[in-house]
Structure 1
Amino acid sequence: MSSVSSEEPPARPRGYTRSNQLQAQLHALVPGGAHTYARGSDQYPEHMAPILVRGKGARVWDADGNSYVEYGMGLRSVTLGHGFEPVLTAVGHAIADGVSFSRPTELELLAAQDFLDLVPGADMVKFAKNGSDATTAAVRLARAATGRTAVAICEQPFFSVDDWFIGTTAMDSGIPATGSTVTFRYNDLPSLAAVLAAQPVAAVILEAATALAEPEPGFLQGVRELCDEHGALLVFDEMITGFRWSARGAQTLYGVRPDLSCWGKAMGNGFPLSALAGKREYMELGGLNTDRERVFLLSTTHGPETAALAAFRAVVREYTDNDPIARMEHAGRLLADGVNAVAADYGIGEYLQVLGRPSCLIFATRDPEGQPSQPFRTLFLQELLERGVLGQSFVTSAAHTEADIAQTVAACREAALVYRKALDQGSVDGLLNGRPVAPAIRRYAAPRRLEF
């Protein structure tokens, strides 16, 4: 590390009294204190987990009146910004005429047409509410279509809350062992070939790309060929790539057509909506135009409610008329360049880095030995929170302005001084207030078990 003063910047104390009170009440009523594990208080510095009350654009406000530039944007579900007026207007008009009915609405047809116009590789689509609804429906459909049970999943972070995936993670309590889910490595065709040769597989499921990994030339095409050779259905998880890589999805961007694809997150700019799309020969197994045994595909009370479908149609219009992906990528490049320059200035570029696709950035935090570190990550989060920046990542939206980025880079410059001090002394001792964050998916509540 270069010789740079590690004098700690002036403290900017923020109060979290009300947020802490509300968080304690949430823990008493809601297991984990949040409805999504990634939103849990154990993912933030202890006693510094803001409870949010509103947002606008790329900014949010908490129960104590603190304001923040927010990143992550609703777990990547908000690409146009909080409170985006065209979406709110469309939703307002739709719900004024009712939200849920006993028969389909014309809005369901219009939304399906919009979706299939965007995704030329799909013949049919069915809407639901959660990403897991779609991926589990894809698994069920693939099993019915092939008469097989096993599913091959890529070694990527997350696919579903349902047994077939969560049973492969550390949080497998309550899930019967089936052994029907096997894994292969990304950008490693031989690993997939070995899995497919070892046993009959119903579906191969993967994200075509991630924040840190692009497909090597020929990889996705090779996956398609192996699936065809072994009679497995190819399923793309487009939860993140859809509307963040391209409105048309990774399948169009990379030129590989899956049999089925699963969508969600940014479809409704935060309004709850997901979709299963795919080739007619498979999707119709859940319909009425088949002589085969029918598949109970997706049948949800709230899948076709009007608010989310109206939001989706407004999102499609914004992506058609403008270029929100270009705006979020511009913000991401400015942010990555700015923060990485700060880290380089302080001689800690090997320890604090912004990485990934400009529209889907993460930050890497490493200890003095160069190893990924939860304590150092927590210290960085703590210092950013104190300076008005909230986020477990640096995932941008089209609403992030150059002023937002400048504020974030300035906050990172001050946070980097504290980070440098921790590196110099070899630990976060005396600098981190409370216990470090812990992985969201872990077997036990420790090391962040509630303390009373």
Structure 2
Amino acid sequence: MASRERVEPSFARSMQLQRRLHELVPGGAHTYARGSDQYPERMAPILVRGAGARVWDADGNRFVEYGMGLRSVTLGHAYPPVVEAVRQAVADGTGFSRPTTLELAAAEDFLTLIPGADMVKFAKNGSDTTTAAVRLARAATGRDLVAVCADQPFFSADDWFIAGVGMNAGIPAAVHATTVRFRYNDLDSLRALFDAHDGRIACVLLEAATALAEPAPGFLTGVRALCDRTGTVLVFDEMITGFRWSAGGAQGVYGVTPDLSCFGKAMGNGLPISALAGRRELMELGGLATDAHRVFLLSTTHGAETVSLAAFRAVAAAYRRDDPVGVMERQGTALAAGVNQAAAELDLADFVAAVGRPSCLVFTTRDASGQPSQAFRTLFLQELLKNGVLGQSFVVSAAHTDDDVADTVEAVTRALDVYRKGLESGLDGLLHGRPVAPALRSHAAPRRL
């Protein structure tokens, strides 16, 4: 592909809109990961539309986008079957006082994808489902502690989890002691928790795998065995792995069945839907077929509105009909190869690399001493934006075409030219503004808008 002449993008209108957002919305966005502080200063596009793997901002700039919808869009923006399903659902009414036939059909579709689950309940976001899983586990076991994986960044916006992160103002001190942590791929660290809190751990909650960490041989089966031996509920967070590792999530890849599993993100291809699924004897604690003290389980006005359920059914049909995961694996493999070859040709392979599972790629950015660097990450993001690529990662969708990948590799090559200058001579004059900061932090960084 011939190299295109570079046109420096303007973000003037996006900056104006971002200032107004900060006046009206705390943090200027409704998700911390979408905040302007996660992007180079004065280069945080405000988007107006998307199609496939491309998006357009308020200034008319067009980008190849990665990590689409915070990894929730696997089929592409405005995917026609989802659009049509949503259009029909809206035309037939969206909210009713009784269950709809769509709820039954969606439940049947979902449970067909997750063979180890007997029942499902739909919700709107992942935090609600993980918190519901914790509540079920506590009710079933009569225990209070939750064991979560310390190497995985996020499980819920609710107090039981946020108490343990830096951004935890407003959470009672008593809550902090209810969540304990073990290390991924370290069975001994989990055994130590069970020994230290004998008979008190209600559930073990983890992602079976992440972009950068596959389960070591025997780890997941060992976790399953420990939970069985201690009467502890095993919960898999499948928010990212669901519909990206396989339609059935990581449990469908690694062959270990949890007691409860929590799905979301890609279920609706960007529409708000999540799911808690699991064994009947646990799920029915929130139902009517139980003599036990009942659990208040995901009872919300909009939990089963028809638009998101219709979107999910269209997504499930696409996964039955086509092979979105295979496409993501192929395009991610091609993208990683192109990025890493470009870095190698500039002798930058030790500093910038596309790494991880091909369907869930991230990129590394290191400074001249070889240490991970937020400043150099910001420089890389800055240069990618200048060259038409938007993304905090290289997480692909099934909509990314060969041309999208080629355009991205070209943008990376141009960005690496600037990156090399930064390594050789420092960032003065190259990095325009402050470095990006972690999204979940205790204090806000200074911002200039």
1:60 aligns with 2:59: no
Paired with 2:448 and 2:428, the residues of 1 have a C-alpha distance of 20
Partner Cα distance (1:211, 1:331) in 2: 15
Aligned to 2:181: 183
- 8 Å Cα contact 2:37-2:436 kept in structure 1: yes
User: Hey, what's the Cα distance between the residues in 2 that align with 1:247 and 1:154?
Assistant: 23
TM-score by length of 2: 0.97
**Residue correspondences, number:** 441
Q: What TM-score, normalized to structure 1?
A: 0.96
The 5 A counterparts of 1:245-324 are 245-324=245-324
Q: Any gaps of 5 or more consecutive residues in structure 1?
A: 1-8
Give the distance between the partners of 2:6 and 2:435, measured in 1 at CA: 20
The match for 2:23 is 28
Q: 2 CA distance for matches of 1:12 and 1:167?
A: 46
Aligned to 1:327: 327
2:235 matched to which residue of 1?
A: 235
Distance 1:25 1:422 in 2: 33
Other-structure match for 2:38: 43
- Counterpart of 1:6 in structure 2 is none
Distance, in Å, in 1 between the alignment partners of 2:37 and 2:89 is 38
Q: Structure 1: which amino acid aligns with 2:434?
A: R
Deviations 1:405-430 (A, max 9, x none): 000000100100000010111x3111
Task: Note the 1:19-418 alignment, pairs <5 A.
Answer: 19-155=14-150, 156-177=152-173, 178=175, 179-199=177-197, 200-418=200-418
Any idea what the Cα deviations from partners look like across 1:188-235, whole Å, max 9, x if unmatched?
000001111211200100000000000011110000000111111000
Paired amino acid for 2:308 = A
| Mapped partners of 1:185, 1:450: distance in 2 | 35
Residues 41 and 448, structure 2, Cα contact 8 Å, conserved in 1: no
SS where residue 175 of structure 1 aligns? coil
- Alpha-carbon distance in 2 for matches of 1:12, 1:202: 57
- Checking the alignment, whether the CA contact within 8 Å between 2:164 and 2:179 is kept in structure 1 is yes
Q: Which residue of 2 aligns with 1:428?
A: 427
Q: How far, CA to CA, are the matches of 2:301 and 2:7 in structure 1?
A: 48
SS in 2 for 1:211: coil
1:10 Cα offset (Å): 7.8
CA RMSD for the aligned pairs?
1.0
SS of 2:184's equivalent in the other structure is coil
Matches within 5 A, 1:9-20: 12-20=7-15
- Read off the aligned partner of 1:385 and give its amino acid letter: L
Q: Shift of residue 332 of structure 1?
A: 0.5
Alignment identity in percent? 69
SS in 1 for 2:361: strand
Q: Give the C-alpha shift of residue 12 in structure 1.
A: 3.3
For residues 344-382 of structure 1, the C-alpha deviation after alignment (integer angstroms, 9 at most, x for no partner) is 000010000111000000000000011110000000000
Structure 2: stretches of 5+ with no match in the other structure? none
Aligned equivalents of 2:139, 2:113: Cα separation in 1: 27
2:395 aligned partner, one-letter code:
V
Q: 2: distance between equivalents of 1:141 and 1:291?
A: 15
Name the CA distance, whole Å, in 1 between partners of 2:37 and 2:109: 39
Q: Distance in 2 between matches of 1:319 and 1:279?
A: 24
Aligned equivalents of 1:342, 1:351: Cα separation in 2: 12
- Cα distance, 1:451 vs structure 2: 3.5
Which residue number in structure 2 is paired with residue 443 of structure 1? 442
Counterparts of 2:7 and 2:205, CA distance in 1: 46
CA distance in 2, matches of 1:184, 1:230: 16
Question: Stretches of 4+ moved more than 6 A in 1?
Answer: none
| Residue 253 of structure 1, CA deviation | 1.2
- For 1:450 and 1:336, the matched residues in 2 are separated by 33
Conservation of the 8 A alpha-carbon contact between 2:149 and 2:206: yes
For 1:383 and 1:147, how far apart are their aligned partners in 2?
A: 53
Give, in whole Å, the separation in 1 of the partners of 2:60 and 2:401. Answer: 22
**CA offsets 1:16-66 (integer angstroms, 9 cap, x no match):** 010000000000000000000000000000000000000000000000000
Deviation at 1:450, TM superposition (A): 3.1
